[in-house]
Copies of this chain bind each other. A is one copy, B any other.
Amino acid sequence: MIQRENLYVAIMAGGIGSRFWPKSRTVLPKQFLDILGVGRSLLQSTFDRFSKIVPQENIYIITGAPYRNLVQEQLPELPAEQIMAEPMRRNTGPCVAYMAYKLYQKNPKATFVVAPSDHLITDNDNFFKTIERAAHFAEHNDGLVTLGIKPHRPHTGYGYIQFLDEDLSDTGLQGEVEGVRMVKTFTEKPNADMAQAFLDSGDFLWNAGIFVWRADVIKRSFEQYQPDMANIFAEVGDSYNTPEEDKAILKAYEQCKNISIDYAIMEYADNVFVLPSSFGWSDLGNWTSLWEQHEKDYLGNAVEGNGVIIYNSENCMVMAPDGKAVIVQGLTDYCVVDTKDVLLICHLSEEQRIKEFHADVKRMKGDRFV
User: Which of A311, A328, A334, A345 is most buried by chain B, counting CB atoms within 10 A of its CB?
Assistant: A345
Determine whether the beta carbon of A343 is less than 8 Å from that of B341: no
- With A309-B357, A357-B309, A357-B311 given, is the CB distance from A342 to B324 under 8 Å? yes
- Does A1 interact with chain B (Cβ within 8 Å)? no
* Neighbouring B residues of A307 by C-beta, 8 Å: 361, 365, 369
Give the distance in Å from the alpha carbon of A328 to the alpha carbon of B337 in the complex.
Answer: 11
Q: How far is the CB of A57 from chain B (nearest CB, A)?
A: 43
Question: Which residues of chain A (301-334) have a CB below 8 Å from chain B?
Answer: 307, 309, 311-312, 320, 323-331, 334
Q: How many copies does the complex hold?
A: 2
Among the listed stretches A108-116, A171-179, A257-265, A346-354, which one makes contact with chain B, having 4 or more residues with CB under 8 Å of it?
A346-354
Give the distance in Å from the alpha carbon of A307 to the alpha carbon of B369 in the complex.
Answer: 10
Q: How far is the CB of A357 from chain B (nearest CB, A)?
A: 5
- Does A364 interact with chain B (Cβ within 8 Å)? yes
- Does A205 interact with chain B (Cβ within 8 Å)? no
- Does A360 interact with chain B (Cβ within 8 Å)? yes
Report, as a range, how many residues of chain A touch the other chain: 20 to 34
- Does A22 interact with chain B (Cβ within 8 Å)? yes
Q: How far is the CB of A19 from chain B (nearest CB, A)?
A: 14
Q: What residue in chain B is nearest A340 (Cβ atoms)?
A: B324
Q: How far is the CB of A91 from chain B (nearest CB, A)?
A: 28
Determine whether the beta carbon of A326 is less than 8 Å from that of B311: no
Which of B22, B320, B325, B329 has a CB less than 8 Å from the CB of A353? B329
Determine whether the beta carbon of A309 is less than 8 Å from that of B343: no
Question: Which residues of chain A (85-104) have a CB below 8 Å from chain B?
Answer: none
- With A311-B357, A330-B346, A338-B338 given, is the CB distance from A369 to B325 under 8 Å? yes
User: Which of A309, A343, A346, A347 is most buried by chain B, counting CB atoms within 10 A of its CB?
Assistant: A343
- Does A336 interact with chain B (Cβ within 8 Å)? yes
Give the distance in Å from the alpha carbon of A334 to the alpha carbon of B312 in the complex.
Answer: 14
Give the distance in Å from the alpha carbon of A365 to the alpha carbon of B308 in the complex.
Answer: 9
- Does A344 interact with chain B (Cβ within 8 Å)? yes
Q: What residue in chain B is nearest A324 (Cβ atoms)?
A: B341
Q: What residue in chain B is nearest A333 (Cβ atoms)?
A: B330
- With A307-B369, A309-B361, A353-B311 given, is the CB distance from A342 to B328 under 8 Å? no
- With A309-B357, A365-B307 given, is the CB distance from A327 to B343 under 8 Å? yes
Determine whether the beta carbon of A360 is less than 8 Å from that of B309: yes
8 contacts between A and B (CB under 8 A): A307-B369, A309-B357, A309-B360, A324-B341, A326-B344, A327-B361, A329-B357, A338-B338
